[in-house]
Amino acid sequence: MKNNFSKKFSLEDVVSISDFSRAQIEHILSQAQKIQKLSVSKKTQILKGKVVALLFFEPSTRTKLSFASAVQQLGGSVIGFDDISTTSLVKGESFTDTLKMVEGYADIVVIRHPLDGSARLAADTISKPVINAGDGRNQHPTQTLLDLFTIQESFKKIDGLKIGLCGDLKHYRPFHSLALALSCFKNITLYLVSPSHLDLPKTIREILAKSNNAFVEVTDLKKVLPELDVLYMGRIPKEYFAEDESFEQAKNFITVDKVLLESAKKNLKVMHPLPRVTEIAQEVDETEHALYFQQAANAIPVRQALLQELIKVKKHKPVNSLNLISEIQCTNKTCISHQESIEPKIHETVNQKLYCHYCGKLVE
């Protein structure tokens, strides 16, 4: 299917970073650079008269505010909610009915939701482009694009870097999307640093193993810190621990401070999607290593570049034509397919592995 918009960006929704090719990622990064240089009068033409809905079923500071600011700087306006207790969801309206209403009120829908696969369900449900602003323990693709933009701005390249991901690799979605995106780049060495019970999900490890990049798994950051160009820290997200998982055991996994950083390369950059809790001591903020506040600011041009592409989209009717199995349930307990009165959708690969259409996880 062909769209009548940029040939370099043929996506109709931004749901999973795995939907992006390297060329599409690079296109967004270069558009983000260009957008920063536009005059105010040119910028405000891009979304003039357009409405973007920000549907936040889960708390956010950066993602919500940066999308709102990005839209307004492009001449558009925003509607939405960030407190579901003020919506008709509390009267029993379903997630999909809510989306069908918003479809009539907005040109693009940005959604954050606590359940994995919610953004894919939203994208399948409505004919307006959907942007995933974080779906449960699954993905945060726009965070990843701004992370890559930040790395590229700082190092003038992404290929060849040694990048450490440190924290709860099991639950924390920015790690998932970034690890997947880096598999499109060359000669990356990925150092996966986590407590052993909080390592990367199997579905993502399979993709990393198939890529040409090396990855090394350790539980002690000190062992690999001197190697790194980028140390990408993440929060231990209490809200995503199941009752039978020990948050208390994990919560103090690591604090990066000035003493620890003495063994790092002079040019090491420390990144974090934020909010931080105890993973990075405040004293690091004043060092040359700290890149996380610049990273957060880069949300504006990157999200503007995405909005600029998606506003041109004429969406095609989704998925019904795909060969999906509905007799098998997704085995991921936090997938939205368990919460809504919707049919499971599982697809089978040529090697007979089954993956959930919504959350993308391997069905085991």
Pick 160 or 275: Cβ nearer ligand CP? 275
Q: Comparing C-alpha atoms, which of 230, 224, 235, 237 is closest to residue 193?
A: 224
Q: Which of 62, 100, 251, 265 binds ligand CP (CB under 6 A)?
A: 62
Does residue 62 carry a catalytic annotation? yes
In contact, 25 and 145? CB cutoff 8 Å: yes
218 binds ligand CP (CB under 6 A): no
Distance CA 174, CA 25 (A): 16
Map residues 121-140 to x or -, x wherever contact with ligand CP holds by CB under 6 A. Answer: -------------x------
Q: How far is the CB of 125 from ligand CP (least distance, A)?
A: 23
- DSSP characters over 160-208: T-EEEEES-TTT-HHHHHHHHHHTTSSS-EEEEE--GGG---HHHHHHH
Q: Which of 61, 246, 263, 294 binds ligand CP (CB under 6 A)?
A: 61
| Residues 134, 194 contacting (CB under 8 angstroms) | no
| Three-class SS state of 270 | strand
* Least distance between ligand CP and beta carbon 176 (Å): 13
CB of 167 to ligand CP, least distance (A): 13
62 or 347, CB closer to ligand CP?
62
**Which of 18, 30, 33, 60 lies at the binding interface for ligand CP (CB under 6 A)?**
60
Find the shortest distance in angstroms from Cβ 62 to ligand CP. 4
Q: Which stretch binds ligand CP (CB under 6 A): 55-63, 217-225, 308-316, 318-326?
A: 55-63
Q: Which is nearer to ligand CP, 62 or 315 (CB)?
A: 62
Measured CA to CA, the distance from residue 279 to residue 29 in angstroms comes to: 28
Q: Residue 63 half-sphere exposure, CB side, CA atoms within 13 Å?
A: 28
Q: How far is the CB of 143 from ligand CP (least distance, A)?
A: 5
Nearest to ligand CP of 180, 330 (CB atom): 180
Task: Specify the residue, 63 or 337, whose C-beta has the smaller distance to ligand CP.
Answer: 63
CB 301 to ligand CP: min, Å: 16
Q: How far is CA 94 from CA 111, 127, 134, 311, in A?
A: 15, 18, 19, 26
Q: How far from chain centre, in Å, is Cα 256?
A: 23
Q: Which stretch binds ligand CP (CB under 6 A): 61-69, 118-126, 199-207, 256-264?
A: 61-69
The residue among 143 and 334 lying less far from ligand CP, judged by its C-beta, is: 143
Query: Is 86 part of the annotated catalytic residue set?
Result: no
Please report whether residue 30 would count as binding ligand CP according to CB under 6 A. no
Residue partners of 287: CB distance under 8 A and separation at least 6: 258, 261
Q: Is position 287 annotated as part of the catalytic site? A: no
Structure tokens at 195: 């407590």
For residue 323, the 8-state DSSP code is: -
With respect to ligand CP, which residue has the nearer C-beta, 44 or 60?
A: 60
Identify the residue whose tokens are 């986590």.
194
Contacts to ligand CP from residues 267-296, by CB under 6 A: 273-275
Residue tagged active-site, from 43, 112, 170, 289: 112
Work out whether 63 is an interface residue with ligand CP (CB under 6 A): yes
Provide the minimum distance between the beta carbon of 273 and ligand CP in the complex, in angstroms, as a whole number.
Answer: 4
Rounded distance between C-alpha atoms, residue 323 and residue 62, angstroms = 38
How far is the C-alpha of 95 from the C-alpha of 140, rounded, in Å? 20
Q: What are phi and psi of 183, to 5 degrees?
A: -70, -15
Helix (H, G, I), strand (E, B) or coil at 349: coil
Helix axes of 141-155 and 22-36: crossing angle, nearest 10 degrees: 70
Choose the catalytic residue: 22, 50, 62, 100: 62
63 catalytic per annotation: yes
Residues 27, 43, 63, 120: which is the catalytic one?
63
Residue type, 195: P
By the rule CB under 6 A, 143 interacts with ligand CP: yes
- Select the span of 44-52, 60-68, 186-194, 316-324 touching ligand CP (CB under 6 A): 60-68
Separation CA 177–CA 158 (nearest Å): 15
Active centre residues (catalytic)? 62-63, 91, 112, 140
Positions touching ligand CP (CB under 6 A) are 60-63, 134, 143, 273-275
